[in-house]
Structure 1
Amino acid sequence: MKSTLRGARSTFKAFRRQAALLTVGLLAVFVAFPTAASADPVPGPPAGWSTVFSDDFAGGSGSAPSGQWMYDTGPGSNFGTGEIETMTNSSSNVYLDGNGHLNITALNNGGAWTSGRIQTTSANVGAPAGGKLEVTASIQQPNPGSGSGYWPAFWMLGPGQWPENGEIDIMEDVNSLSDVAGTIHCGTDPGGPCNEGNGIGSGLQACGGCQTGFHTYSMILDRTDASNESITFYLDGNQYFSVSEGQVGASTWQAAFDHNLSIIFDLAMGGGFPNGQCGCTTPSGSTSSGGTMSVGYVAAYTTG
């Protein structure tokens, strides 16, 4: 009986050792290969900065984005840009993928395009006087080969009258070019110090791999020099364009950017920008349905 018990204890200890090794092995696998839901964590604030807004788009597959967002719906013609889609709140157009991403998908329904546009429920982020604001997002642009007419955008809008109360376009691309453009809008339309309705921008810049993987698109609004504030645009942390208060005048700049703005994601189809780039009417008959802009996270940080 004692011999049997010792054998049982020995077998049990061996089992425990094997189970422990198995557990360690599984932990190693999870560490080496993190789950898709944690693939795009929101970065912590840089040293000396504070996080004032963020979303990692966690949630069940097919669910709506969190209550930090609201939908802008209706015909694209309502937005004054010439786009031809209808923006909806359908989970076919705007949805979480269950792996930590917000997807906005444009669909062609017998020649009638639908897509999505969401924005924060208020003008919730701004650079404090004497400080800075950074707004950044990890985005994969619509699939290569989607075709002409696709117009993904990550941008900010001031409350009230456009363009007087400001717009900052942090990421735009058109016609599936795998490019990026950063632009500001301010002043009066048409013309004025900000050259409306085109704004002051970088023009389309090469953005290699931006349709096949996630890249970071960022903007820093710098108010540390009250006599010459600036807005600078970055792709993957590399500066590619900057515009300063001195280019448009103090009163115009202050009305546009010295206050809070809302954050917007949308995927338009057709309109002035894509049509102007190609000198044609977009989308075309060869434009494919189902192109998707995917967002891994968005965050805003300030210094005070």
Structure 2
Amino acid sequence: MTVQRPIESCRRGPLCCSSPPPEPLAESPAPPPESPPLPLPPSHEWQLLWADEFDRADPLRPGSCWEAQLGDGTAYDCPCWGNNERRSYTARPGNVRIEDGQLVIEARWEDPPALPGQPYTSARIRTAGRFSVCPSPGSAASVRVEARLRCTPGPGLWPALWMLPETAAGAASGHGEYGSWAASGELDVMEMMNSMQQVIGSIHFGQRWPGIQCLSGHTYLTPEQAGQFHVFAVEWDRTQMRWFLDGQQYFEARSGGGSQGGGWWSGGPGAGANSPFDRPFHLLLNLALGSEASEFTTEGGVGITEAQLQVRERLADPAGNPAQLVVDWVRVYQSAEASPAAEAPSSG
């Protein structure tokens, strides 16, 4: 099983950051009335490998499975986080905390700015060096990553649950065994746009920037469903990935088997048939804000501007709710069996 184990102070039996271990999904309490019903639990062959139920006071305490990435990305060789984003990340309780057993990442307008030219703050946390995983022969032929979360609808907001290649501490964000982004891959379990009605699942691969390739699928929530809790998941085999919203599959992608057409591949040194998604990846959660270079933070094809965001100084929605990504739990499962379809690569 290709799994980098959590640091010792964070390990609790087979789980991480969970005390006591969660009950099986089938026995989980019902969600709040305003939330949609939870999907059926994963089938019986799935075994829980890792979980964070956020049942503690501090998400970043010593021994946590998460670390905060700080600043504007310069320290990670990724200025403005690669998207001309107009905010910096912090580890302040105002930006990242636990409330009522849920992780809260909150975006804020700062006066004065936290950094020159960065008038907003938010948070970005990752499990790098603490937990990473990928499918491999044996007990983890398939991996399922899922989370129950919601995000406030609002202009300029870009929430994500995603995965980057595990690599040595201090290396550039997105850099892995096959080179810099995206030759070593990126797996987006969930991204949503401004209104939080469009849900996107993606992978990035190929050559290092600017020679990147992308496969992406999407599905939609109704206006009434946007801003409510939903379960987002990806199932990852050695040669296939499948994305789900509330238990319903909406997209799949396959390995190109080493070919540069019809599926994922890597042009990095030493890449194999199923590269770059044949190496461990760690988890990230963040709420980006104010990028003028991304489709995720546009309205009518026009990027959200600083002036637009400053009108809402505290980044609240029309009802006065603050701009937040709220995560109920994150869980990772393993299965000794892969989908039969996963053994026959075809165009994705």
TM class by shorter chain equals: 0.7 to 0.9
Q: Deviations along 1:230-255, whole A, 9 cap, x unmatched? A: 11110001011111112235555633
Separation in 2 of the partners of 1:79 and 1:105? Answer: 18
Deviates more, 1:273-282 or 1:236-245: 273-282
Cα RMSD for the two superposed structures: 2.9
Q: Larger C-alpha radius of gyration, 1 or 2?
A: 1
Q: Deviations along 1:277-303, whole A, 9 cap, x unmatched? A: 642232424455130000000011111
> Which structure shows the bigger proportion of residues in helix conformation?
1
Residue 237 of structure 2, aligned match among 200, 207, 222? 222
Q: Deviations along 1:73-107, whole A, 9 cap, x unmatched? A: 1115442122111000101000000x110000000
Residue 126 of structure 2, aligned match among 116, 119, 123? 119
Alignment of 1:139-178 (within 5 A): 139-142=149-152, 144=153, 146=154, 148-159=155-166, 160=176, 161-178=180-197
- The alignment status of 1:181 with 2:200, answered yes or no, reads yes
Structure 1 counterpart of 2:246: 236
Separation in 2 of the partners of 1:53 and 1:171? Answer: 19
Deviates more, 1:291-300 or 1:74-83: 74-83
Q: Which amino acid aligns with 1:266?
A: N
**TM-score if structure 2 supplies the norm length?**
0.66
Q: Deviations along 1:100-142, whole A, 9 cap, x unmatched? A: 1000000011371000000113251211237111000001112
Residue 221 of structure 2, aligned match among 183, 198, 207? 207
Q: Deviations along 1:160-199, whole A, 9 cap, x unmatched? A: 222111111111112234221001011114454x53xxx2
Separation in 2 of the partners of 1:296 and 1:207? Answer: 19
- The alignment status of 1:258 with 2:254, answered yes or no, reads no
SS across alignment from 2:276: helix
Structure 2 counterpart of 1:300: 332
Identity %: 27
Separation in 2 of the partners of 1:46 and 1:300? Answer: 14
Cα pair 2:80 2:86 within 8 Å, conserved: no
Separation in 1 of the partners of 2:110 and 2:266? Answer: 46
SS across alignment from 2:302: coil
Unaligned residue ranges in structure 1 (runs of 5+):
1-32, 224-228
Structure 1: 4+ residue segments shifted above 6 A: 33-36
Q: Structure 1 residues 120, 249: closer, same or farther in 2, change over 3 A?
A: closer
Structure 2 counterpart of 1:128: 136
How far the C-alpha of 1:158 sits from its partner, in A, is 0.8
Separation in 2 of the partners of 1:117 and 1:71? Answer: 6
Q: Deviations along 1:12-65, whole A, 9 cap, x unmatched? A: xxxxxxxxxxxxxxxxxxxxx9899xx9x9x986412222210000123xx334
Q: Structure 1 residues 215, 35: closer, same or farther in 2, change over 3 A?
A: closer
How far the C-alpha of 1:150 sits from its partner, in A, is 0.3
- The alignment status of 1:64 with 2:59, answered yes or no, reads yes
Q: Which amino acid aligns with 1:299?
A: R
**TM-score if structure 1 supplies the norm length?**
0.74
Cα pair 1:269 1:282 within 8 Å, conserved: no
Separation in 2 of the partners of 1:35 and 1:278? Answer: 34
Q: Structure 1 residues 276, 212: closer, same or farther in 2, change over 3 A?
A: closer
Q: Which amino acid aligns with 1:282?
A: I
Residue 323 of structure 2, aligned match among 279, 291, 294? 291
Unaligned residue ranges in structure 2 (runs of 5+):
1-28, 74-78, 114-118, 167-175, 257-261, 268-272, 316-321, 337-348
Structure 2 counterpart of 1:55: 52
Cα pair 1:57 1:65 within 8 Å, conserved: no
Separation in 2 of the partners of 1:302 and 1:280? Answer: 42
